[in-house]
């Protein structure tokens, strides 16, 4: 989560973002690249990883077999035709903590903003905030009340270094490191009306709520069905966010025939939609979102 992870959910410093990305999950390695105009997919490839090579955690080391992962990554990058010396690395969501803060009057100086955010989160984040890799985005005033909402993402520096060191050993610079859900949301253009987004990964489900086309809530759940993951978020939306009724349900990273998705549709009364572009398999969307594929050009 280096270099302005969430400078904007839909646009993270576009000119500085590499054209290639590699996502690592506990089960897959995924490579994707775009052309220099980001209007088309240059290449994409995916392969399974042996169990235990990559863990999804901010509390313990993530890479247990560096040599095996390095060898696989080198092969997949070659297979995809990777060129260049810089790459975006998309990491499991559990490597990061995502938080929302409301600040009455934030400082305009980045150094003071950074210091304040670290101080504010010290008692709620279960790792050393002072040394953590941190990035944030000032979203703007909430719909009601006072203050300014800030979206924050942070991860232990030791975890970030594991991924940086892996690619350094391949003579590739990890120019940006970001969690999978935020990467996928770079492809998401929230419609008018309130939306619930379910992002399914090998190790759990993230739920996000968008109101007024802006993210207002993020929650990560493990060992739960899709509906059990979604239900507390829906309750929070109604009770704490003042939601009057979700109008859209988006799902990424699922099998369209999955029976559990039918339960979500039936109980929430919403038909699931896929995050665009629908022509691309969900498994590639975080990687393509991280390099800012302009998917409208694919239609």
- Region label for 82, one of left (φ > 0), alpha (ψ between -120 and 50) or beta (otherwise): beta
What mean pLDDT comes out for the span 108-118? 92
Buried b / exposed e across 221-259, counting CB within 10 Å, b at 16+?
beeeebbebbbebbebbeeebebeebebbbbbbbeeeee
The CATH code belonging to domain 1-95+156-188+275-299 is 3.30.420.40
- Confidence at residue 18, expressed as pLDDT on a 0 to 100 scale: 96
Domain ranges in the chain are: 1-95+156-188+275-299, 96-155, 190-274
pLDDT tens digits, 133-181: 998 888 877 666 678 889 999 999 999 999 999 999 999 999 999 999 9
Q: Which CATH number fits domain 96-155: 3.30.1490, 3.40.50, 1.10.10, 3.30.450?
A: 3.30.1490
Q: How far is CA 103 from CA 119, 121, 130, 156, 165, in A?
A: 13, 12, 19, 24, 36
Does this chain's domain 96-155 share its CATH topology with 190-274? no
pLDDT tens digits, 6-64: 444 444 334 479 999 999 999 999 999 999 999 999 999 999 999 999 998 999 999 99
- Confidence at residue 191, expressed as pLDDT on a 0 to 100 scale: 95
User: pTM value?
Assistant: 0.90
- Tell me which fold the domain 190-274 belongs to: Nucleotidyltransferase; domain 5 (3.30.420)
Tokens, residue 242: 């003042």
Q: How do 20-24 and 28-34 pair as beta strands?
A: antiparallel
């Amino acid at each position: 989560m280096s270099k302005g992870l969430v400078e904007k959910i839909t646009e993270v410093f576009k000119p500085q973002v590499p054209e290639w990305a590699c996502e690592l999950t506990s089960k897959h390695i995924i490579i994707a690249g775009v052309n220099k105009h980001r209007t088309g997919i240059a290449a994409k490839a995916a392969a399974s990883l042996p169990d235990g090579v990559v863990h999804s955690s901010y509390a313990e080391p993530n890479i247990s077999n560096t040599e095996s992962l390095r060898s696989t990554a080198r092969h997949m990058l070659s297979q995809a035709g990777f060129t260049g010396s810089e790459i975006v690395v998309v990491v499991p969501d559990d490597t990061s903590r995502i938080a929302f803060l409301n600040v009455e009057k934030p400082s305009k100086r980045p150094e003071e903003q950074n210091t304040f955010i670290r101080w504010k989160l010290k008692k709620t984040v279960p790792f050393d905030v002072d040394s953590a890799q941190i990035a944030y985005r000032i979203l703007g005033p909430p719909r009601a009340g006072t203050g300014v909402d800030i979206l924050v993402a942070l991860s232990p520096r030791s975890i970030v270094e594991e991924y940086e060191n892996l690619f350094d050993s391949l003579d590739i610079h990890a120019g940006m490191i970001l969690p999978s859900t935020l990467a996928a949301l770079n492809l998401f253009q929230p419609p008018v009306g309130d939306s619930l987004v379910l992002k399914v990964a090998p190790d759990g489900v993230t739920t996000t709520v968008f109101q007024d086309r802006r993210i207002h809530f993020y929650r990560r759940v493990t060992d739960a069905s899709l509906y059990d993951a979604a239900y507390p978020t829906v309750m929070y939306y109604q009770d704490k966010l003042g939601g009057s009724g979700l109008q859209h349900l988006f799902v990424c990273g699922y099998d369209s025939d999955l029976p559990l998705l039918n339960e979500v549709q039936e109980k929430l009364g919403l038909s699931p939609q896929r995050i665009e572009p629908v022509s691309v398999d969900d498994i590639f969307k975080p990687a393509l979102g991280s390099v800012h594929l302009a998917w409208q050009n694919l239609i």
